[in-house]
Amino acid sequence: MNAEFSRTLSLLRQEKGVSQRTAANALDISQALLSHYENGIREPGLAFVVKACNYYGVSADYLLGRTLSRDGTTIAPEELYDLSDEKDNAMRGSVLAMLSKKLLVNSIGVLFDLLGKTGSRDAVRAASSYLSTAVYQVFRRLYQASPGTNPDFFSVPERQFNAGIAEADMKCSEVDLADALAAHAKEKGSFPSLTHDALAQNYPVLYQSLLQIVHSTGERVNKSFAGRVKNN
């Protein structure tokens, strides 16, 4: 079993809104054993996996982290809905570039729709600033690496950019976003439902892209962190 299994097993129980004791009884195992499974301390047998799939209404592939679709189906890059209106060939490029664009465009569409539903303009502005600076950095790195480009194209001096001023700006925007959302919550402002079922229902096509980014980014970050710890 992999780490994704234990994480998914725990999340499914929490999403179902039941305690470990209740789930363990339904799955015919002890609470202690279920805790071990959810924390990756022990690996279950096939019989448990089948019971868990039936109990939570998901496929084995989903529970084992082999697919992001609960019924076990997979989605190809060309099947991802493209929220953007740009359909000309100039925007397509390689398959990897096209897939990455779709994943990001679709996911950002979901994020801003969710932020818009909170009604917090400060949160929307902060999120926009954060993502805009990320786009700025990627384009500037590409621009700088390209031969013959004019370094004066950007208003931020190259020395300051290379020193990390853009990263600092992103961090400030991230803090602004956290503060705006905290203030909204304190004022008891409304938040859209963020459960899997609600997101899948409200964004039946786009949510798949957001799930993919959450999954792949989590794996990449975990692997990077594990590698650094091992090297140290």
Considering the domain architecture, whether residues 115 and 202 belong to the same structural domain is answered as: yes
Gap between the Cα atoms of 129 and 170, Å rounded: 7
- Whether 68 is in a domain gets the answer no
- CA distances to 44, 69, 119, 141, 170 from 66, rounded to whole Å, are 17, 9, 36, 34, 33
pLDDT of res. 64: 84
Considering the domain architecture, whether residues 131 and 102 belong to the same structural domain is answered as: no
Per-residue pLDDT band for 90 (boundaries 50, 70, 90) equals: very low
- Whether 70 is in a domain gets the answer no
Considering the domain architecture, whether residues 14 and 51 belong to the same structural domain is answered as: yes
Considering the domain architecture, whether residues 111 and 197 belong to the same structural domain is answered as: yes
Considering the domain architecture, whether residues 88 and 198 belong to the same structural domain is answered as: yes
What percent of the chain has pLDDT above 70? 86
Per-residue pLDDT band for 89 (boundaries 50, 70, 90) equals: very low
| Total domain count, the chain | 3
Considering the domain architecture, whether residues 113 and 81 belong to the same structural domain is answered as: yes
- Whether 72 is in a domain gets the answer no
Domain holding 43: CATH number? 1.10.260.40
- Whether 69 is in a domain gets the answer no
Length of the chain: 232
- Whether 203 is in a domain gets the answer yes
User: Which H or E run includes 30?
Assistant: none
- Whether 71 is in a domain gets the answer no
Structural domain for 232, as ranges: 77-119+191-232
Considering the domain architecture, whether residues 8 and 88 belong to the same structural domain is answered as: no
Q: Say whether pTM exceeds 0.85.
A: no
Answer yes or no: are the C-beta atoms of 47 and 40 closer than 8 Å: no
